[in-house]
Amino acid sequence: MNRALRIIFSRYGIIVIILILVLGVIALANRRQDTPLDGTNGVDSSEGAATTEGLTEDDGFATEECEGDGCFTDEELPEDAVDQAVEFAESWLNPDGFGAQGWHDSIEPYLTIDAAESMEGVDPATVPAEEIVGEATAEGMKVGVPLDTGTLTLTMVEGSNPWTENGWLVSAIDWEQS
């Protein structure tokens, strides 16, 4: 026992302990970078452009089911709901090059309160597309907007938020890469 303690507390033992701690921290940091919700979504902020890495799996967001009076489950959405979804998609693409707060302010009027809160702090550089390339289509409560790199699917609900009186709002956002 005495010999083991002398080895552990010798300079070589201390070096081995420090090395194990450093390797453990590096392994944890690498594991953190591999998680899908690490805040960067595969974007290297030094490059300023979104990558498509990590965007092939379903992120699980647009799973909200419609409940209550505003549901049109068997009917198509009215044209004004589809128009509102397209307007949101145009702002979501960030054509004006806003920073995070300016971008959030531009999309906030189209979102439900919960959706707006979930988009707080999102970097617009993570938007994986640049332009709308086709006509939006409605299916149930969802509107699919074809973009240059995939399809933006927006779940629409009728309601209001602090920025918009009664109208159609985006309650969930889903992205499917093509």
Distance (Å, whole) CA 152 – CA 128: 10
DSSP annotation of 47 reads T
Distance (Å, whole) CA 148 – CA 115: 24
* pLDDT tens, residue order, the chain (178 aa): 788 778 778 888 889 889 999 998 888 877 766 555 444 444 444 444 444 444 445 555 554 455 554 454 456 789 999 999 999 999 999 888 899 999 999 999 999 999 999 999 899 998 999 999 999 999 999 999 999 999 999 999 998 888 877 889 999 999 999 8
Q: What is the model's pLDDT at position 44?
A: 47
Q: 157: burial class by Cβ within 10 Å (0-12, 13-18, 19+)? A: buried
